[in-house]
Amino acid sequence: LLSSRAVEPQSEGQCAPVDSLWRRYSEFELLRNYLSVTYPHIVVPPLPEKRADFVWHKLSADNMDPDFVERRRIGLENFLLRVASHPVLCQDKIFYSFLTQEGGWKEMVNETGFQIKADSRLKALNATFRVKNPDKRFTELKHYSDELQSVISHLLRVRARVADRLYGVYKVHGNYGRVFSEWSAIEKEMGDGLQSAGHHMDVYAASIDDILEEEEHYADQLKEYLFYAEALRAVCRKHELMQYDLEMAAQDLTSKKQQCEELATGTVRTFSLKGMTSKLFGQETPEQREAKVKVLEEQIQEGEEQLKSKNLEGRDFVKSAWADIERFKEQKNHDLKEALISYAVMQISMCKKGIQVWTNAKECFSKM
């Protein structure tokens, strides 16, 4: 259920937007795909995972588990807040309709024709291997995003292993509780102290489920940047595609200029099937050559205009993309710093709780 409210009063005669409406996860995916295609220079915020990964094995990985569904709801809310706080994305009409329009939203998105603009995976792969002059900054950014994803993936795997061991340590304290309780039943003078110590151990053992569930929220903050790494690579791929299109346009223009020069001078610089055909079956008439030269000159003029346009488009893309990447880096540094500090504070709190349990047990033993 998506709830929203207007921050500014509605003008007279204007219908108030819907306060709440239902959205499926697939609709969030459609919105993000639309934003990624429409704003290729922007590091579009990622969606939370559809199914749980990097979880300690005692925690359910079922995507219908209530705790996981709640964390995913928080993640989807965070996605909307990220988009709403972005200086460009927040102004998008489709995003506004996603928040306010109950019916017909999917049709509105599809009418934008954004799917046609989406580049194929094959073309993107081709561009990656065939770009002759890649931008060093984007190449380094792609390597950085790969390394960031690798580091966070490893960190999440380590965290899951630590959480699993921690779960075991806490649950073993439940065995202490059971043994102390059983022991207290056969002791008269020591019974109360043993029973109290056992109670502290039981409470400590039972607290681990809530603690590790809370810890999953910190893991989700790291996972967001695990998925942000792919969003960074997407911007790099789009730049590669633009660079590839630019180089292909330049190559095509050079080829046409060479053809035009060969027709005008009557000399052939490079081997071609067309040149062999002319030698075998006779040269073209001056009128035919003149007509072809005229067509080529028109194509050359059109090609130069396209090349100029692509160069301008490329410069604008780099300028806009790099500004957004700098904004993203500042956001990332702040968020990850806060998440890691919060995680450390939680670990310290857990250790203090363990010390307090054994301090209480010591007092219980002292009173026996």
Q: Do 107 and 155 lie in a common domain?
A: no
Task: Give the tokens for residue 320.
Answer: 């806009």
Question: In the prediction, which pLDDT does 276 show?
Answer: 46
- 340's CB contacts (< 8 A; 6+ apart) are none
Q: Domain containing 88 — which CATH number? A: 3.30.1520.10
Task: Tell me the torsion sign for CA atoms 95, 96, 99, 104.
Answer: negative
Question: In the prediction, which pLDDT does 271 show?
Answer: 47
Q: Do 103 and 184 lie in a common domain?
A: no
Tell me the H-state helices in the chain: 25-38, 66-85, 93-100, 105-111, 114-117, 121-130, 136-184, 191-206, 208-265, 273-281, 286-366
* pLDDT band, very low/low/confident/very high, at 57 (cuts 50, 70, 90): low
Distance of alpha carbon 141 from the chain centroid? 15
Per-residue pLDDT at 61 exceeds 70: no
In a domain, 91, yes or no: yes
In a domain, 335, yes or no: yes
- 241's CB contacts (< 8 A; 6+ apart) are 119, 123, 124, 127
For 5, 31, 222, the CA distances from 335, given in Å and listed in that order, are: 26, 24, 9
Per-residue pLDDT at 209 exceeds 90: no
Q: Do 195 and 340 lie in a common domain?
A: yes
Q: Helix, strand or coil for residue 55?
A: coil
Question: In the prediction, which pLDDT does 296 show?
Answer: 85
Q: Do 193 and 78 lie in a common domain?
A: no
In a domain, 7, yes or no: no
Per-residue pLDDT at 233 exceeds 90: yes
Q: Do 187 and 240 lie in a common domain?
A: yes
- 232: nearest Cα among 45, 29, 37, 28: 45
Q: Do 181 and 329 lie in a common domain?
A: yes
Length of the chain: 368
Q: Do 184 and 231 lie in a common domain?
A: yes
Per-residue pLDDT at 7 exceeds 60: no
Per-residue pLDDT at 304 exceeds 70: yes
Q: Would you say 197 and 365 are in contact if contact means Cβ atoms under 8 Å apart?
A: yes
Question: In the prediction, which pLDDT does 181 show?
Answer: 93
**Pick from 79, 114, 149: which residue ends a domain?**
114
* pLDDT band, very low/low/confident/very high, at 292 (cuts 50, 70, 90): confident
Q: For residue range 83-138, what is the model confidence (pLDDT) as tens digits?
A: 999 999 999 999 999 998 878 888 999 888 888 877 665 566 566 667 888 889 99
Q: Do 183 and 257 lie in a common domain?
A: yes
Question: In the prediction, which pLDDT does 4 show?
Answer: 60
* pLDDT band, very low/low/confident/very high, at 55 (cuts 50, 70, 90): low
Q: Do 95 and 195 lie in a common domain?
A: no
What total number of domains does the chain contain? Answer: 2
In a domain, 276, yes or no: no
Question: In the prediction, which pLDDT does 279 show?
Answer: 47
In a domain, 207, yes or no: yes
Q: For residue range 183-206, what is the model confidence (pLDDT) as tens digits?
A: 999 998 899 999 999 999 999 999
Question: In the prediction, which pLDDT does 281 show?
Answer: 43
Q: Would you say 274 and 281 are in contact if contact means Cβ atoms under 8 Å apart?
A: no
Q: Do 109 and 142 lie in a common domain?
A: no
In a domain, 188, yes or no: yes
- 192's CB contacts (< 8 A; 6+ apart) are 184, 367, 368
Distance of alpha carbon 337 from the chain centroid? 18
Could you please report the per-residue DSSP string of 290-346?
HHHHHHHHHHHHHHHHHHHHHHHHHHHHHHHHHHHHHHHHHHHHHHHHHHHHHHHHH
Exposure letters 256-284 (e unless 16+ CB within 10 A, then b): bbebbebbeeeebeeeeeeeeeeeeeeee
pLDDT > 90: what percent of the chain?
Answer: 49
Question: In the prediction, which pLDDT does 97 show?
Answer: 92
Q: For residue range 312-344, what is the model confidence (pLDDT) as tens digits?
A: 999 999 999 999 999 999 999 999 999 999 889
Torsion of CA 305, 311, 316, 318, to 10 degrees: 160
Strands 2-3 and 20-21: antiparallel
Q: For residue range 242-288, what is the model confidence (pLDDT) as tens digits?
A: 888 888 899 999 988 888 887 777 665 554 545 545 544 446 677 77
Q: Do 144 and 106 lie in a common domain?
A: no
Question: In the prediction, which pLDDT does 313 show?
Answer: 93
Question: In the prediction, which pLDDT does 256 show?
Answer: 87
Provide the greatest CA pair distance for the chain.
122
In a domain, 269, yes or no: no
CA distance 177 to 357: 12
- Structural domain including 325 reads 135-263+297-367
Mean pLDDT of the 10-21 span:
58
Q: Domain containing 305 — which CATH number? A: 1.20.1270.60
Q: Do 110 and 150 lie in a common domain?
A: no
In a domain, 330, yes or no: yes
Task: Tell me the torsion sign for CA atoms 119, 120, 121, 122.
Answer: negative
Residue found under tokens 């702040």 = 334
